[in-house]
Amino acid sequence: MRSDSTPRVRGERGNLYQEITDRIISELEQGRFPWVQPWGAANANLGLPKNAATARRYSGINILILWGAVIEKSFHGQNWLTFRQALTLGGCVRKGEKGTTVFYADRFIPKSELERAQKTGDDPSAIPFLKRFTVFNVEQCDGLPETAFAGIAPLPERDVRLL
């Protein structure tokens, strides 16, 4: 999330770590602690977020990011889609809707590195990468099948009374 309202220049690559740091600081400045268990928040089903097209659960920092978006925008569910996934499911993202940025980190081994490793008998070296994706809550979409809205059981509320 950019701290100013200026649009990002095409081709400009922001520092992903700084974006997350800025988002957490913004939450703290608003009196919210993003790492505190937020179950029971008004109007929010804060079960673990999932991709509505693949049913894959989001993990890591993406959970905090998507929980924050649910609270900030008063969404009722935790099902998310990319723009293309919404189209593939026969729906569309409503005009003017703003997405939420999530991140995907992994490693890959280039073909040339595999060939080099085979020739030399060494282990191939993997290259880490980090990608960003924009996702939309299914409530920001029209024309999706009912399966995209399948509910997620909320996380259990904790009894915080001292014994």
pLDDT computed for residue 52 by the predictor: 95
pLDDT computed for residue 20 by the predictor: 75
The model carries a pTM of: 0.66
Tens digit of pLDDT for each residue in 18-46?
Answer: 877 887 788 788 877 666 655 544 444 55
pLDDT computed for residue 21 by the predictor: 80
Q: What residues in the chain have per-residue pLDDT under 70?
A: 1-14, 16, 33-46, 151-163
pLDDT computed for residue 31 by the predictor: 79
The residue among 84, 83, 89 whose CA lies nearest residue 140 is 83
pLDDT computed for residue 150 by the predictor: 79
pLDDT computed for residue 13 by the predictor: 53
